[in-house]
Amino acid sequence: MPGKYSDEDIIRILWLIVVPATSLLAIAVTIFSVSQGITDVFPHLYYIPILLNAYRNPKYAIPFAALLGGIYAGLVWFLTGYSLDALVKALIRVLVFIWVAAIIAYLAGNLQRRNRHLSAMNEITTAASTSATLDEILSTAGKRIREITGSGLVMVYLAEGEGKQGLLRYHDALPGDAAGRLGVISLTEEPIRRVLSGGVPVFLKGEESPFGDLSPAGILSLILIPLPAGSEAPGLIVAGRREARPLQEDEMAMLGSVSRAVGSAVKKALLQEELGEANTKANLYLDIMSHDINNVNTVSLGYAQLLAELVNDRGKQMLAKMEGAIMQSIEIIRNVTTIRTIQERSQASRSLDLDPVIRSELEHHPDITIHYDGTKASVCANSLITEVFRNLIGNSIKFGGKGIELWVRVLDGGEQVTVSVEDNGPGIPEELKPLVFNRFQRGKTGKSGKGLGLYICRMIIEGYGGRIWAADRVEGEPGKGTAIRFTLRRSSPA
């Protein structure tokens, strides 16, 4: 079945077939050749399975060569009538088999080790260059470093408390009781301080362990691997090995390269975590402030409306100004909340009918003359589109002056829909038209406003993949009113 086996599975199956098949072939040719008195050419057939096995399984290269050579020598001795001369020649060839297998195993072992190192380096670098979380980076680094060093366990510590302590953030194959004992270590004591300041991995014998009596059982050597990031090291990896043999120079050099890649990735992930925590706190404070200010605004507005029934005309005028200020405060809070929603919410859109959205907003302004003929257009948008119509219609009413009239037009053409909200107000000067959608940009009418409404509209429309611009209601005559137009992608029919 296609796709059932991976490339590695296929290669493994081929090796399991080829090595036994060539071994049996060599044995069969041995029996036939010796029986025919031929003793010179056929031994070379044994090199095929010996070389293949040495390359694939370096650890078993010599035992396999010795076994196959023993079978060859035994067959020669038996089939030549127990000839001592033939046996001696066969044994010499067996020694050559073993010697060749040892050389190939050594070369293949180094090649495979380097390939593992490069693979580990590539995987760690990939994790570091993507948007992987800190835990994902530490898990990838810990597992691959354990593989590189042949370690029985791996622990990753990250600095905390002004860099004086290391907190166990990840471990692999560490017993549960040991994880509790080694959860926090000092980074200011030797040899850890020396390793962190030096920025290069260090090999330690078991008796040199910085953990003393807390060291896990069976660990005969340690490798302390700092995680350098610029002038500091935000963490440390401890690899515990169950053998005392030091790593080779190229392995230690590879660990140095890996440690630098991991250190940079960890530093980046830590900064992202700190930024996320700061954003969470800021949003919490903003939520609290918005909630409390809205409560105050609501209470103030209620008292203002009650007082308006008890005071004279002069007092009512002052209360009307007070109500306007409160409504402006409510609008500011709403604008800030909308901007947060735009930034936090995915701009994923769906098919949305424009007509009910527009009519719902028009219902909030029964005292204003608004011309709208309806539409059957469906666009790619989401619930935030209501904020666009709320701001555009609200701006026209606020800045339009006495006798304001509005027109809402929808032109469904081709792949996009163009919407225009127009008024017969004083218009927008030509030099301000490219600027009115910038943050905090205000017009010259003297009316209240913080310049956020059109900026919010631009953020929403551009998030949908459309564009928005200011124009004249009557082309070439800015004094006869404003037209704010924007485009939306037309949704495909269901």
Domain locations along the chain:
7-123, 131-266, 280-341, 347-489
CA atoms within 13 A on the CB side of 336: 15
| Residues 236 and 195 sit within 8 Å (Cβ to Cβ) | yes
Judge whether residue 69 has pLDDT over 80: yes
Percentage of the chain exceeding pLDDT 90: 20
Phi, psi of 353, rounded to the nearest 5 degrees: -75, 125
Whole-model pTM?
0.51
Residue 1 confidence (pLDDT): 45
Residue 131 confidence (pLDDT): 64
Closest CA to 374 of 360, 359, 388: 359
Among 99-103, 430-434, 440-444, the minimum mean pLDDT is found in 440-444
| Residues 100 and 53 sit within 8 Å (Cβ to Cβ) | no
Rounded Cα distance, 278 and 282, in Å: 6
Predicted confidence band of residue 468 (pLDDT cuts 50, 70, 90):
very high
Rounded Cα distance, 199 and 236, in Å: 10
- Per residue in 110-129, pLDDT tens? 787 777 777 777 777 777 66
How far apart, in Å, do the first and last CA atoms of the chain sit? 37
Mean pLDDT across the chain: 82
Rounded Cα distance, 270 and 234, in Å: 9
Predicted confidence band of residue 5 (pLDDT cuts 50, 70, 90):
low
Predicted confidence band of residue 315 (pLDDT cuts 50, 70, 90):
confident
We find that the CATH architecture of domain 347-489 is: 2-Layer Sandwich (3.30)
Residue 448 confidence (pLDDT): 43
Residue 320 confidence (pLDDT): 75
Residue 333 confidence (pLDDT): 67
**In the β-sheet with 405-413, what is the strand arrangement from edge to edge?**
369-372, 405-413, 416-423, 482-489, 468-472
Over residues 370-393, the mean pLDDT reads 91
Predicted confidence band of residue 359 (pLDDT cuts 50, 70, 90):
very high
Judge whether residue 209 has pLDDT over 50: yes
Residue 4 confidence (pLDDT): 62
241: tokens are 């090995």
Residue 494 confidence (pLDDT): 45
* Greater pLDDT, 48 or 325: 48
Amino acid in the structure at residue 129: S
Amino acid in the structure at residue 462: E
Predicted confidence band of residue 41 (pLDDT cuts 50, 70, 90):
low
31: tokens are 């029996």
Rounded Cα distance, 65 and 86, in Å: 19
281: how many CB neighbours lie within 10 A of its CB?
10
Residue 402 confidence (pLDDT): 81
Over residues 344-370, the mean pLDDT reads 85
Percentage of the chain exceeding pLDDT 70: 84
Omega before 191 within 30 of 0, i.e. cis: yes
How distant, in Å, are the alpha carbons of 189, 283, 452 from that of 392?
A: 65, 27, 11
Among 264-278, 320-334, 371-385, the minimum mean pLDDT is found in 320-334
Is CATH 2.10.70.10 correct for 131-266? no
Residue 451 confidence (pLDDT): 59
Predicted confidence band of residue 449 (pLDDT cuts 50, 70, 90):
very low
Judge whether residue 443 has pLDDT over 60: no
Over residues 189-218, the mean pLDDT reads 85
Among 82-96, 169-183, 431-445, 478-492, the minimum mean pLDDT is found in 431-445
